[in-house]
Structure 1
Amino acid sequence: MGTAIKIPTAWDRFRGHVYRILRWPYITTGAMGYAFTFLLVALYLAQSPKFKSEMDLVLPGTGSSSNVSLNEVGQVVSQTSAPFGAGGFNPRVNYKEMLSSRGVLKRAAEKTNLPLAKFGEPKIKLTEQTSIISISITGTSSDQSQLKAWALYEALQDELDHLRADEVARRDASIKNVLAEYRERTNFARGEIVDFQQRALLVSKDQMDQLISTVAQINEKQLYVQSELVELEDYIQQLSLDLQVSPRLAGKALMLQSDPEFRGYIAELSQATTQLSEFRSRWGNKHPKVIAETGRVNVAKASLIQRGGELSGVEATNLFTTLHLDNNPKRAQLFADLIDSFARKQGKVSELQDLKRSHLHLTDQLKVYAREVAELDRLQKEFDLAEAVYTSAAARLEANKADVFASYPVVQMLTTPSFPIQQTSPNPLIAIAAGLFGVFFITFGLIVLWQRKALIQLLLKRD
């Protein structure tokens, strides 16, 4: 019998091809590596074009300080440290994390009407020894990349505004609670002062000062009146010795001198006495005219004594008849001065007594004021302290409201988002360079594997 000829099937042919390929593994591996490299390059070049927009932000904060002085209350000092102070945090790092945070990216995506997944994440670079933040973000077109950069910047500003407002609100809430307590304490201290003023004689410390001034003036006035009184007493005493008459008698004498009826009797007595002397020089005592004039003189004397007794007593009448004030005007003036000085002395005595009574009364009142002013001063100090604390706290609250950049420094646009002209990805030059680089390394690796025995022997011979 002849041998049957076996016809190879399709499976046999496939196995034969695989066997032949496995006989050349380096060629197979190289072909697969080249194909994979070309595939990666093709996929890279097949990507949709991307455009990159760049911008720079800067934090110009250098710290600030303000000092507010409130008259008779106190001072309020508001100080903001520089954000880049030694030992402090660097706000650029915080802002970098904020730019990459989900909240900022979501807000920026909403501004561009893009889903958060398609908006992408920006690339952020912090330049050393500066306060600059460099940001770049890509888009499918030049307009979109620039729009996304602007949206990212606005989203950062919105987030900062929200954080600052939240900080101020929380700080205000805590301070307002404290202010309410301070206000209650201030009102209580003010009420204590009002209650004390209603039940006390003293309303303000000015009354105490005025009373002390009044007492001092009264003391000074007493010394002045006493000196005047001593001067008047010496003058009256010396004048009484010179005139040989007391002020009381001098006054009565002047009163008699001013009486018309008494003066008429004086004139009648003087005229009768003169006529009697003339008649006696001519005739004897028994002469009828002498007897008549003697009777006239006696009647005038009796009338004079009677009138003087009615006015001031017999002592003053006898004194006036011997003084003859009408014939001595200067002596009459001295009488008048004596009476005037005595009257002024009595006035000074009364004035001194009134001053002493006033001084005693004001001294007693001053003792009461001294006790009350101490209590009023204590209440006033408590009120001033409460008011100062309340006012300072309120001023600090307002100062903190004005300083909104203390925790989150202001950030400014240093360079506006750029408008890219050329696409940044995919880049043909990068694709070609990557492909050539991949082919070179695959080829180099295959050669090393193919000639590994020869290379190993060469290395062993060198050793």
Structure 2
Amino acid sequence: MTMTLTDTLPKPSKSRGRGLGHRILVGGSLSDLRRFPRYLAIALLGAALIWAPLLGYLKNAPLTYRSTTSLILPGSGASASMNVNGIGQASSYANSAFASNAVSPTETYKRLLGADRIVDAAASSMGLTRLELGAPRIRLVDQTSLIHVEMTGGTPEDAQRRGAALIAAFFAELDALRTDEVVTREDSGAEAISDYRVAVAQTRSRIEQLQTQSGLLSVDQYDTLVDRHQNLETLILERRAGLSERRASLTALEAQLGQDATRAATTLKLFADAGYLALLDDVARFEVALSEANSSYGSRHPKVVSARNARDEAQIVALNLAQDVTGFDRDTLRGLDIAPNGARADLLSELVRKKVEFDAAEQELTTLQLQFETAQSEIDQLAVVAAKMQDLERDFSVSEAVFATAIARAESSKSDVYASYPLVQVLEDPSLPQKPSSPNRKLALMAGIAATLMLLFGLSLGWIRAALLSRLFTKPKA
């Protein structure tokens, strides 16, 4: 048993109103051409509603041109090293802009490009307001460090100028931010550097005061004094050993000669006198004459007596001359060696020389011992001062190193201007558009055609809705 659409729908009344409503809801048959004028009127009205605003927009909308600019952030860091003679080394290193995953420099610069003060600065440079300039369109390219910036204008040249003004304002703001960062760092480090300078000056003043009071200029000077004192002690020990050796040699030679050094020196001095030697020759000649007389005559013979008297007178004269030359008395002179000629004279000279060397060595030892005692007293007095001086010099070296490091760091930080705001470069200058970007005529026409086709498709469904409803509500046979 089949059921038709007329069986399932409510039975319309015979009144005119219910028949019209049923016709509007259900529609007519496919072959009913009396409906065509109504569908044609709806199609014309819908097409007018679609194409009239679209054509009006295409005809009256102002042309807009879009200029594009590309920026790039280099991915590598930068490092610098500076060696200062006598101070040390200062290094600065700027990490790569993409070294940290917490902060994205491209996102930061994207926000900065669209900041109000940058847009206002770009508008002011062109004599426009922010609304007249328009907001930039900023787009990031995934997996790259590129930033695309788009600006619109009424003409190609105007769009290009707006893009250039925005980029110039962006770089000017970057320079201002970097300069402000450097100034802030300098201000924050200036107080610390001033404190370091005061600490260095105070330590230097204490060192100078200690130098003035003690006379010790540095710890190196004290170390030099200690080294010299130790060398002096070693030298004294050597001189003592040498003096003992000289004393033993001198004593042995005096024992061999039977004369001390003083008598030996007197003998050599006396026999160096020509007059005394001549008198000795006379004494020797008279001694020979006396010997000859004694061999021929008796002891009381006048010739023997005359020869003896001549000899004694010559000896007395020689003895008186020796007293005048040496200043010794006769008893001392009688102990002198009266035959210093030959090898004995050389031994007497050696004895005198050894005595002189011994006296000189003894005097040198005495002087060295005096110097040693004086130096020991000075070292004992300067020991405490040297320890304090060493502490002050260490403090001064540390303070000076910290001060120099702070200055070097402050100077090197001036070159590290890309630490907080990475380097950005213009990869592509603002372009000069060749055609307008708005209105897009092709897109508008395609949208109008699509809307028209959708209208016609809707009217087609309305035309065949009776057949569709009959098919949907007809139950199939069991």
TM-score clears 0.5: yes
The aligned residue for residue 17 of structure 2 is none
Give distance in 2, aligned partners of 1:84 and 1:420. Answer: 33
The aligned residue for residue 205 of structure 1 is 219
Q: Is the 8 A contact 1:253 1:316 kept in 2?
A: no
Matched, 1:184 2:198: yes
Query: How far off is 1:226 after superposition?
Result: 2.9
Matched, 1:132 2:146: yes
The amino acid across from 1:48 in the alignment is P
The aligned residue for residue 6 of structure 1 is none
Give distance in 2, aligned partners of 1:236 and 1:405. Answer: 88
Normalising by structure 1, we get a TM-score of: 0.86
The amino acid across from 1:235 in the alignment is S
CA RMSD of aligned residues (A): 3.0
The amino acid across from 1:324 in the alignment is A
Q: In the alignment, which of 363, 367, 373 is matched to residue 350 of structure 1?
A: 363
Matched, 1:340 2:353: yes
Matched, 1:149 2:163: yes
Query: How far off is 1:205 after superposition?
Result: 2.7
Query: How far off is 1:117 after superposition?
Result: 0.8
Matched, 1:50 2:61: no
Normalising by structure 2, we get a TM-score of: 0.83
Query: How far off is 1:347 after superposition?
Result: 0.8
Within 5 Å, give how 1:255-404 maps onto structure 2. 255-259=269-273, 262-305=276-319, 308=322, 311-320=327-336, 323-325=338-340, 328-404=341-417
How many residue pairs match? The answer is 441
Gap change, CA 1:114 and 1:305, over 3 Å in 2? closer
Matched, 1:433 2:467: no
Gap change, CA 1:40 and 1:384, over 3 Å in 2? farther
Give distance in 2, aligned partners of 1:219 and 1:192. Answer: 34
The amino acid across from 1:318 in the alignment is R
Question: Which has the higher mean CA deviation after the structures are superposed, 187-196 or 34-43?
Answer: 34-43
The amino acid across from 1:157 in the alignment is F
Q: Is the 8 A contact 1:52 1:142 kept in 2?
A: yes
Within 5 Å, give how 1:58-77 maps onto structure 2. 58-77=72-91
Give distance in 2, aligned partners of 1:363 and 1:40. Answer: 115
Alpha-carbon displacement from aligned partner over 1:398-425 (angstroms, at most 9, x marks no partner): 1111111211122211122221121121
Alpha-carbon displacement from aligned partner over 1:336-369 (angstroms, at most 9, x marks no partner): 1101111110110010110111111112222333
Give distance in 1, aligned partners of 2:455 and 2:114. Answer: 38
Give distance in 1, aligned partners of 2:407 and 2:323. Answer: 91
Query: How far off is 1:130 after superposition?
Result: 1.2
The aligned residue for residue 7 of structure 1 is none
Identity %: 28
Gap change, CA 1:40 and 1:229, over 3 Å in 2? same
Gap change, CA 1:396 and 1:27, over 3 Å in 2? farther
Query: How far off is 1:86 after superposition?
Result: 3.9
Identify unmatched segments of 5+ residues in structure 1. Answer: 1-18
Question: Which has the higher mean CA deviation after the structures are superposed, 41-50 or 68-77?
Answer: 68-77
Gap change, CA 1:338 and 1:133, over 3 Å in 2? same
Query: How far off is 1:268 after superposition?
Result: 3.5
The amino acid across from 2:328 in the alignment is S
Query: How far off is 1:47 after superposition?
Result: 0.6
Query: How far off is 1:309 after superposition?
Result: 5.8
Q: Is the 8 A contact 1:164 1:404 kept in 2?
A: yes
Q: Is the 8 A contact 1:229 1:349 kept in 2?
A: yes
Give distance in 2, aligned partners of 1:141 and 1:124. Answer: 20
Matched, 1:104 2:111: no
Give distance in 2, aligned partners of 1:457 and 1:85. Answer: 70
Gap change, CA 1:93 and 1:199, over 3 Å in 2? same
Gap change, CA 1:232 and 1:49, over 3 Å in 2? same
SS in 2 for 1:417: coil
Matched, 1:233 2:247: yes
Alpha-carbon displacement from aligned partner over 1:185-232 (angstroms, at most 9, x marks no partner): 221122111211111220123322332342244234324433432332
Gap change, CA 1:440 and 1:462, over 3 Å in 2? farther
The aligned residue for residue 8 of structure 1 is none
Question: Which has the higher mean CA deviation after the structures are superposed, 393-402 or 29-38?
Answer: 29-38
The aligned residue for residue 31 of structure 2 is none
The aligned residue for residue 92 of structure 2 is 78
Give distance in 1, aligned partners of 2:412 and 2:469. Answer: 80
The amino acid across from 2:393 in the alignment is Q
SS in 1 for 2:82: strand
SS in 2 for 1:66: strand
Gap change, CA 1:454 and 1:175, over 3 Å in 2? farther
Identify unmatched segments of 5+ residues in structure 2. Answer: 1-19, 25-34
Query: How far off is 1:266 after superposition?
Result: 3.1
